[in-house]
Structure formats: C-alpha cells, structure tokens
Amino acid sequence: PGRGAVADELASAAARRDPQRLGELLDGAADPNAANSYGRTPIQVMMLGSPRVPELLLRHGADPNLPDPRTGCLPVHDAARAGFLGSLAALHRAGARLDLPDGRGRLPLDVAAGRWGGTCATLHP
C-alpha cells in the first residue's frame, strides 16, 4: 500500500485501540507522525482508554506535542478532558508539554478542571 494508505491504516488502528496492528505497522517502518486522509496523526485520533496505545506510538517516535489541525488540542488536552490519567501520564513521561494551550487558550489543567468541576489529580513523573 502507498504511504497515504499506511497512514490511514495506522490512524485507524490507533483509533480502534488495536495495539497488535499498530505494532505491526510501526515495526514495518510506518511513520507515527504521518497524517491520515483527514490531516490527523495517529496520536491525535488514538483511543485514550489505555496507556498502551500512546506508549506504543511514543516509543516509535510519535510527537506528543502536535496540535490537532482542526481544534488546536494536543493529545494531553484530550486525555485530561476525558479523565484518562494513565494516558496523560504516558504522554507527559514522553515529553508532552503541559504548558501549551489548545486552540481556545486552555491548558490541559484548565480542561481537566472544567471536566471534573475543579477536582484534579496530581501527576507525578
């Protein structure tokens, strides 16, 4: 398959939370930062319920600080909004910056506070 098809398949595997297929594609030299047909990278569309997917993408060089082209959100904003602290911690350990605002000027902590009514967890590296 062409690069575009591989990028689409990689993003799809990330969105489906399919670490086996994701690993196969990444081990086959798929670019973890390649945008799919919609202009989004696998880390921007990944299913956040398990830290396994972000850890796999990050281990293969995915950039955790690429903003979503439509919303300006970073993966840490998405993880904070959804309350997936395991994914948020994995992103942070891999270099995701917590001091970058989303497209609306909010930091991940702001997003988490809005989601949880002001109650936030503390993450430790």
The number of folded domains in the chain is 1
**pTM for this entry:** 0.81
15 part of a folded domain: yes
pLDDT < 50 positions in the chain: 116-125
71 part of a folded domain: yes
Q: Which of 103, 102, 86 is nearest to 94 (CA)?
A: 86
Instruction: Tell me the three state secondary structure of residue 51.
Output: coil
Q: How far apart are CA 37 and CA 12, in angstroms?
A: 11
121 part of a folded domain: no
119 part of a folded domain: no
Residues with Cβ within 8 Å of 39's Cβ and at least 6 positions away in sequence, in order, are 69, 70
Q: Enter the tokens of residue 112.
A: 């988490």
84 part of a folded domain: yes
Q: How far apart are CA 118 and CA 40, in angstroms?
A: 30
100 part of a folded domain: yes
In this structure, what CATH number is given to the domain that contains residue 74?
Answer: 1.25.40.20
Q: Which amino acid is at 73?
A: C
Instruction: Tell me the three state secondary structure of residue 96.
Output: coil
Helices and strands: H and E segment counts in the chain:
7, 0
Q: Containing domain of residue 90, as a range?
A: 3-114
Q: Confirm if 43 and 75 have CB atoms less than 8 A apart.
A: yes
Q: How far apart are CA 64 and CA 9, in angstroms?
A: 19
Q: Which residue has the tokens 């002001």?
A: 118
Question: Phi first, then psi: what are they for 55, rounded to 5°?
Answer: -60, -40
Residue 119: per-residue pLDDT = 40
120 part of a folded domain: no
92 part of a folded domain: yes
Residue 2: per-residue pLDDT = 57
